[in-house]
Amino acid sequence: MSKTTAVRAAGETLTQRQIVTVMVGLMLGMFLASLDQTIVSTSIYTIANDLDGLSLQAWATTAYLITSTVSTPLYGKLSDIFGRRPLYLIAIVIFLVGSLYAGSVHSMTELAIARGVQGLGAGGLLALALTIIGDIVSLKDRSKYQGYFMSVFGISSVLGPVVGGAFAGSANILGFDGWRWVFFINLPIGLAALAVVFMFLHLPAKHVKQKIDYFGAAAITLAIVPLLLVAEQGRSWGFTSLNSFLCYGLGAVGIIWFLLAEERAGDYALIPLRLFRNATFGLSSLLNFIIGIGMFGAIAMLPMYLQLVKGLTPTEAGLMMITFTLGILTGSITAGRTISASGTYRIFPIVGTGVLTAAALVMGLSLGVDTGLWVPGVIAVFFGMGLGFCMQPLTLAMQVSVPPKDMGVGTSSAAFFRSMGGAVGTAVFISMLFSLAASRIADTMKSTMSSADYQAVLRDPAVAADPANAKLYEFFQNGASNESLNDTSWLHTANSVLTRPITEGFAYAIDTVMITAAVLTGIAFLISFALPNKKLTDPKVAPRGDTAAVAAH
């Protein structure tokens, strides 16, 4: 790391040791927020069964997603008004309260509420960490530091399913149900982050006299909540159901209201519309959204492939995704160091979206039932590298493309658009997966049933009498559909000859989804060429009197 000191807004300096100490606290906060996006995925069935609420399990994920996404731009704007430090401390406290509550619940309804509280805190942890680094570190070193944050994001996202599966698989830990430690583990880490930030982060007191955009906050909530609801619940509701259309309508009304409210609010708007007139900010926002759809939706497919087609457990699939972590570490640190040295950032979104497109295309063309496990392992490396090349440079570009007084808004907007894209992509791609799989499995089974060899195994009395095949024969009776594929826990314990059409159907569906993802990331690749080809410059160190010298305009 550079031995330079960082200049604070008040003209004071932080030494390298102080910067690293503050970074540890901020990285712990980001680790918690991103970990809790995925840690519940492998433990939710255990939790739901223990709390007798399997039908409500999706709401535990939905509540966290909604509150963390909605609160992200709010934290960004409020931190520009009241300062970063108090807002970050409040976010940690809210997250800890939510974690303690989540680990103590006795019903799925309570858990959904607790996860919502966690999400309210997580929105601040994700939005403000990179903003604070922007406050205390000069642009020359900022991209390098922020590269480490992106690595933490990638590592925690991959560790989540592994840690969640390990806790859920333990009956009792220190007198508590194992799954409760999915939430209790946040307490010591969060308290350490709280202590470090409280003791060592001393930014100048800030309170800008400005109206708070209440109408914008209400409008963005009305816009986002129904759309996230239909993204998460649409598969069970049906995307053409009355509930879904009601959500579409409310979301559309919310978007229109938000645009009108922001135009009227002007400079004190939650996300000032003037920022989108800046080419760097507008294009980076669009790229973050598209990359969120294509990338996070695609990354959801790799664990699906490993579990549904290759028969790995959720924990094993999580461990296989460690190669994704290696990729994101390589990509984000390489991008950070190069941008620190040269100030050039445009090449990385171009290369990153190109790598993502190639990885998605290769995955869509190469993964089948008999494909070796090393293939998805290698593909995951390139997915991670592509994401590392894109996330950190685009966040940095948005951060410095706005005036210093709007840095909180600029940084939180990057996380906001990426989260929205990720939510949409994951929901749409998983719905595509099961719809395509049901259709393909039905067609494959029709052709396979005419095979004499298949019929011989199907009618073998020993196979029919095996308890491991009971649900398989039930599946044959009911036929392939979205509903019959809701529970696939029996898939890899049943007779492998008889389940071959089902695993082939899933492999085909995943390949199709990945080709769709490649089209989306390919569009992002083309858009990335429109980014201004300028070096990033720090508006905080612009020549005195040059108030218009804002980077990357």
Q: Supply the pTM of this predicted model.
A: 0.80
**Contact, 377 vs 305, CB < 8 A?**
no
Look at residue 208 in the predicted model and tell me its pLDDT. 61
Which two three-digit tokens encode residue 419?
Answer: 């989260």
C-alpha separations of 461 from 116, 412, 496 in Å: 51, 62, 16
Is residue 177 within a helix (H) or strand (E), and if so which, with residue range? Answer: strand 176-177
> Is 190:92 a contact under the CB 8 Å cutoff?
yes
Tell whether domain 276-553 is in CATH 1.10.4190.10: no
| pLDDT value for 57 | 67
Output the CA torsion sign for 254, 260, 262, 264: negative
Class of domain 1-209: mainly alpha
Is residue 254 within 8 Å of residue 222, measured between CB atoms?
yes
Are the beta carbons of 165 and 313 closer than 8 angstroms? Answer: yes
State both tokens at 296: 């996070």
Q: In this structure, how many other beta carbons lie within 10 angstroms of the beta carbon of residue 501?
A: 20
Task: Name which of 234, 145, 181 is nearest 431 in CA terms.
Answer: 234
- The single residue listed with the structure tokens 């108030």 is 547
pLDDT of residue 542: 47
Give the position of tokens 């620190």.
340
Task: In whole angstroms, give the CA distance from residue 247 to residue 239.
Answer: 10
First to last CA, the chain: 29
Q: Could you state, in order of their start, the residue ranges of all structural domains in the chain? A: 1-209, 214-269, 276-553
* C-alpha–C-alpha distance, residues 521 and 515, integer Å: 10
Centre a 10 Å sphere on the Cβ of residue 155 and count the other Cβ atoms it contains: 19
> How many residues can be counted in the chain?
553
> Distance between CA atoms of 182 and 180, rounded to whole angstroms?
5
- pLDDT for 285-322, tens place per residue? 999 999 888 776 667 788 888 888 888 876 777 778 78
Q: Tokens at residue 217, please?
A: 């906050």
The helix (run of H) or strand (run of E) holding residue 47 is helix 44-50
Give, in degrees to the nearest 5, the angle at Cα 73 between 72 and 74. 90
Buried b (16+ CB within 10 A) or exposed e, 171-191: eeeeeebbbbbbbbbbeebbe
Question: Consecutive sets of 10 residues in the chain, 553 residues long: mean pLDDT of each?
Answer: 42 69 87 83 75 69 83 87 89 95 90 91 87 79 75 76 79 84 91 89 68 85 84 74 89 92 85 88 92 75 83 77 84 85 87 94 89 90 90 84 83 85 78 81 80 79 78 72 64 79 87 91 94 73 43 43
Report in angstroms the alpha-carbon separations of 41 from 352, 427, 429, 430, 549.
27, 14, 16, 14, 46
Report the C-alpha gap between 169 and 432 in whole angstroms.
30
